[in-house]
Amino acid sequence: MVRTSITRKGQTTVPYALRRKWQTSQVLWELHPDGSAIVRPAPDVMKLFGAAGSAQARDPNEHEAAADAMAQDGQEDSTGDATGSR
C-alpha cells in the first residue's frame, strides 16, 4: 500500500510503479457506499482500435466519437451528475 498526498487543487500522484505497470494516462475512480474508493487503470480505447483490424472501411470520425464518449463518461461522478456538484 502506498500513501500519497492530495493537493489543495484536489490532485494526487500515481506512484511510478503503478504508472509503469498500467501504461495508461487515465485512471477510473470507483466510489463505494462506505466512502472508500478503488482506483483502476482506464483502458486506452484508441490502442484497442488496431487490435481488431479489419479490411472493412471504417467511419473516419469513429476515433473522435469514441474519444468524446470516453471523455463524457469520465465527467460523470458516481451519482451520474455530469457537473460533479452535489
Q: Quick one: pLDDT band at residue 15, thresholds 50, 70, 90?
A: very high
Residue 56: pLDDT over 70: no
Which residues pair with residue 70 across a beta bridge?
A: none
Question: Does residue 19 lie in a domain region?
Answer: yes
Phi–psi pair at 69, nearest 5 degrees: -65, -40
Residue 34 lies in a domain: yes
Domain membership of residue 41 as a residue range? 13-46+61-78
Evaluate whether residue 8 is within a structural domain: no
* Helices within 1-86 (DSSP H only): 16-22, 45-49, 62-75
pLDDT of residue 76: 59
Instruction: Provide the whole-model pTM.
Output: 0.48
Q: How many domains does the chain have?
A: 1
Q: Indicate the pLDDT class of residue 51, thresholds 50, 70 and 90.
A: low
